[in-house]
Amino acid sequence: MTDTLTNQNEAADANTAPSTPIIAGRDEVAQVHHPLVAEQLRRRANSVQLRVADAITAFAGSMRFVYLHAAIFVVWMLLFEQSPWPTLTLVVSLEAIFLSTFVMVGQNRQAAFQQAKADHDFAQSDHELLSNTELTRQVHELTKQIHAFVMKEAQAVDAGKHCDEGPTGETQRL
């Protein structure tokens, strides 16, 4: 089965990146998303159980599902059973149990995904903080060196001499 998901939320602007990736095959995900999102999509595409659960929850969350059930319930109530519809009540109750299970499976998967993304984002933020701290230290050190050079130059000008410090730190008199 070739999985091809198209962008369901088409962007108004053609220059905007799609909000859902395009899956060309089970192992090929376009580099549109965060690596964790791409990995989650690969896992879903590779697992038959997850694909089935996704298909069921996608259908159960649609208006087609609502219309189909309304039609089935009306036909059932008019043609198959008399009031108070005990078999229909049993079927609907069982269906509710199974659908709530699929919802919980989806919520658990989403929670695990959100936790993995939060952990990744925290690690990235921590790395960025360390990088920014090191860059700030380097800027501070360069600022001190520039200040020392400018002060030495100002003292030399005040003394009537002009000195120029080369890149190696040697003072050269002009």
pLDDT of residue 160 exceeding 90, the answer is no
Report field, pTM of the whole predicted structure over 0.85: no
pLDDT of residue 30 exceeding 50, the answer is no
Comparing 171 with 80, the larger pLDDT belongs to 80
pLDDT of residue 106 exceeding 90, the answer is no
| Residue 152 token pair | 């030495």
Poorest-confidence range of 25-29, 90-94, 125-129? 25-29
Q: 4-22, pLDDT tens digit by residue? A: 333 333 333 333 344 444 4
Comparing 64 with 166, the larger pLDDT belongs to 64
pLDDT of residue 138 exceeding 90, the answer is yes
Residues ≥6 apart with Cβ < 8 Å to 53: 102, 105, 106
d(CA 40, CA 63): 27
Give the containing element (helix H, strand E) for 165: strand 163-165
Residue of 47, 6, 46, 43 lying closest to 23 (CA atoms): 6
- pLDDT recorded at residue 103: 84
Comparing 18 with 46, the larger pLDDT belongs to 46
pLDDT of residue 104 exceeding 80, the answer is yes
Q: Tokens 């219309």 correspond to what residue? A: 67
Domain layout of the chain by residue ranges: 117-174
d(CA 116, CA 120): 6
Average pLDDT of the chain, as a whole number: 76
